Amino acid sequence: MDYQHIVVLTGAGISAESGIPVFRSETGLWENHRVEDVCVPSALVRNPKLVHDFYNKMRSGLKTKVPNAAHRAIAKLQQEWPQRGGSVTLVTQNIDDLHEKAGSMNVIHMHGELNSLWCTACGKRFFFDGESSPDMSCPYCGKPTLRPDIVFFEEIPYHMDEISAALSRCSLFIAVGTSGVVYPAAGFCQYARAQRALCVEFNLERSAVATNFNYGLYGKASITLPAFVEHLLRTGEPLTQQ
């Protein structure tokens, strides 16, 4: 089997067609906020209520969002590729739950998850889909030291060991809807290329790291990705053009 181990990296673009705005656009997810007010560790010290409220709003918005055909195509690949002896590792930079809603299992959320809180005193993380506040007590240790379980700028992404292990054995690397400007995720393609993996990007336009990929399929991911997955499952070969 030529493309036994597949790694899929997704970014905000895959959820755009589900109604979640991407980060780097005029009406981006940061809305009227500066990144340094809501997405750096010092913001939690300076104005914790603003940080909690910002993620509360995003979290409550998730409830009505549904996955699109691109999320579903990845879930299908994850279900069917192992039946042929392969593996699919799904790494997302997204903090939404649309991969899970589409049926994906073992989603690696390298930038954290909206539906999770983290206690900085006892270290526990737990599912949470309500409204948090800085004075809320941790259900495990009782201290008011909870924060949204989001990886802020200046912090190290989660699960890097697991991601490196998957990249080091991967034979096909797919990046979907990511601009390629935020590291370390933007560097995954180079790492996969060094392992001789075939690397394909799916985007509306060439990303900042497009030259690192073998080729790209450009257009809406809800169209390009299902076609790619169907072809891969039917023939065992990656589609090279639409």
Residues with catalytic function: 111
Is-cis flag, bond preceding 184, omega within 30?
yes
Q: Is 23 a binder of ligand APR (CB under 6 A)?
A: yes
Whichever of 88 and 114 has its CB closer to ligand APR, that residue is 114
Q: Comparing C-alpha atoms, which of 105, 103, 136, 142 is closest to residue 122? A: 142
* Least distance to ligand APR, CB of residue 179, Å: 3
* Least distance to ligand APR, CB of residue 68, Å: 8
Using CB under 6 A, which residues numbered 28 to 87 contact ligand APR?
A: none
Q: Which runs of E-coded beta strand occur in 141-219?
A: 146-150, 172-176, 198-203, 215-218
Q: Where does 92-220 have alpha helices with state H?
A: 98-101, 160-168, 188-194
Looking at residue 185, the DSSP 8-state letter turns out to be G
Select from 18, 78, 93, 116 the one that contacts ligand APR (CB under 6 A). Answer: 93
Select from 9, 22, 43, 73 the one that contacts ligand APR (CB under 6 A). Answer: 22
Looking at residue 4, the DSSP 8-state letter turns out to be -
In whole angstroms, what is the distance from residue 115 CA to residue 56 CA? 10
Count the helices and strands in the chain (H runs, E runs). Answer: 9, 9
Decide: 150 and 39 in contact? Cβ < 8 Å: yes
Binding window for ligand APR (CB under 6 A); candidates: 125-133, 160-168, 171-179, 209-217 = 171-179
Using CB under 6 A, which residues numbered 186 to 205 contact ligand APR?
A: 202-205
* Least distance to ligand APR, CB of residue 219, Å: 7
Q: Is 175 a binder of ligand APR (CB under 6 A)?
A: no
Using CB under 6 A, which residues numbered 200 to 229 contact ligand APR?
A: 202-205, 207, 220-221
Whichever of 31 and 205 has its CB closer to ligand APR, that residue is 205
172-176 vs 215-218, strand pairing mode:
unpaired
Q: Is 177 a binder of ligand APR (CB under 6 A)?
A: yes
In whole angstroms, what is the distance from residue 223 CA to residue 238 CA? 15
Kindly list the residues in this chain that would bind ligand APR in the complex (CB under 6 A).
11-13, 16-17, 22-24, 93, 111, 177-179, 182, 202-205, 207, 220-221
